[in-house]
Amino acid sequence: MSFVILASVTVIAALGLLFARKPVHAALSLAVVMIGLAMIYATLEAPFLFAVQIVVYTGAILMLFLFVIMLVGVDTSDTLKETIAGQKVLAALLGIGLGATLIAGVGQASIATMRGLSSANEGGNVHRLADLLFSRYVIAFEATSALLITAAIGAMVLAHRERIDPKQSQTDLARKRVADYAKSGKHLGPLPPPGTFARHNSNDTPALLPDGSQSKKSVPAILAGGASNGTGDEGQGE
């Protein structure tokens, strides 16, 4: 019963992953698939795998996916334009091939009742798993961790950039601002917020200066209807 519910949720989410137009929706469907799989592990008496599946896949890996998708394109939808010629046909052929192999393979297998689970889980699922990982499969385990560390270091090396000038601390920046003020009279503090002393407080209402004139610097360039006016340029006078 629980399998039927979980399996249908998982399959529906997997279809959602295929047919969602927005990448974020697809990533979310994938998250549901992962959680569905984790639940199935839980019903199959593999509690450790259940927790790890959620922590690692849903919590870490998919979150990274989401990060990238959100930062790269907030609103982008999938385009259906092919960038590689004949990609659709090839993909369809390979997909059908994979499906046929899977059906043939699974169809061959005879499914009997589960055996050996209680002896495998004797003394607690977590303890038995730890026993196996740190005795029989210790080399595979260590090799995997070495691989992952290598990958992480590789990514860091690729992204690393040697710093040429020393990093400016908050103190340095403050000193620089004061020096600029002494030299050119550039305003020290933050820009005036929009709407100060004005009739409205919306973002496109310029703040009023003590003499009643409007401060153009208080309105963001995007809202002021053109990037050419006062917000971007430096200088004290209005």
Under the rule (CB under 8 A), what is the footprint of other proteins? 22, 24-25, 28, 31, 35, 38, 47-48, 50-52, 54-55, 58-60, 63, 66-67, 70-71, 74, 122-127, 170
**Shortest Cβ distance from residue 119 to other proteins (Å)?**
12
**Shortest Cβ distance from residue 190 to other proteins (Å)?**
10
Within 76-230, residue ranges assigned H as helices are 87-108, 117-120, 125-134, 138-159, 170-184
Q: Which is nearer to other proteins, 5 or 60 (CB)?
A: 60
**Shortest Cβ distance from residue 96 to other proteins (Å)?**
32
Q: Which is nearer to other proteins, 55 or 227 (CB)?
A: 55
Q: Which is nearer to other proteins, 66 or 191 (CB)?
A: 66
**Shortest Cβ distance from residue 88 to other proteins (Å)?**
28
CB-CB neighbours of 184 under 10 Å: 10
By residue count, the chain amounts to: 238
- Single out the residue of 140, 230, 200, 78 nearest to residue 238, CA to CA: 230
* DSSP 8-class letter at 56: I
Give the C-alpha separation, 191 to 231, whole Å: 9
Q: Which is nearer to other proteins, 30 or 224 (CB)?
A: 30
The answer to whether residues 141 and 133 touch, using CB atoms and an 8 Å cutoff, is: yes
